[in-house]
Structure 1
Amino acid sequence: MAKSADVTKVLKARRTAGRRWKLEDAKARFSEMVRHAREDGPQRVSVRGQDAVVVMSVEEFERLAPAKPRAPFVEFMESLHLDGLDLGREADDGRDVEL
């Protein structure tokens, strides 16, 4: 009996994986679309009959687009080549405010 449930789940996933949604349906049934994206795989949204975007789980997104390592802050600032730019700050004594 467990095997039958597994087969049913696989067949359902195949029906909804890569499913295409018209924009108006995606807006009206957004929670359902997100649930399908998380459980069944990426969901396409079309605008005027043309695929426009894909909604996918964050896990799928991170698998496809791994985070780039960040450069240390000093290395990043040096890479901007801001030679001659004065980033100094004048003394700040506050400002006068009428009460």
Structure 2
Amino acid sequence: MNFAMNSWPVQDAKARFSELLDTCMKSGPQLVTKRGAEMAVLVPVREWKRLQSVGKPSLKELLLAPASRAEIPIPKRGQFKRRQPRSLD
């Protein structure tokens, strides 16, 4: 789903929330701005659930995956020097 997002200043979003919600349900996600900066997006719950399901795999899916999802750098052994212990004098 690709939607053209309308922008709503926060004052308008607060004053006309029912209209914002109706527009979201008819036209898709709606952007809320504060002093011109993008702050939040109102999306229909169906779209939110779809995004949540594709956004992150479950722990079970991660553990059963054939390959790792991230490379973890492992330093070579003996690469770091040990500090000398302080004397107890």
Q: Shorter-normalised TM-score: what interval?
A: 0.5 to 0.7
For structure 1, the residue ranges without an aligned partner over 5 or more in a row are: 1-13, 72-99
Q: Secondary structure at the match of 2:41?
A: strand
> What is the TM-score normalised by the length of structure 2?
0.56
Paired positions, count: 56
- Out of 56, 61, 66, the position equivalent to 2:48 is 61
- Out of 44, 48, 52, the position equivalent to 2:35 is 48
Letter in 2 for 1:43: Q
Q: Does 1:26 find its partner at 2:13? A: yes
For structure 2, the residue ranges without an aligned partner over 5 or more in a row are: 61-89
TM-aligned CA distance change 1:30 to 1:70, over 3 Å: farther
Larger helix fraction of residues: 1
Q: Secondary structure at the match of 1:35?
A: helix
Cα displacement (A) at 1:70: 8.4
Pairs within 5 Å for 1:1-99: 17-66=4-53
Letter in 2 for 1:26: A
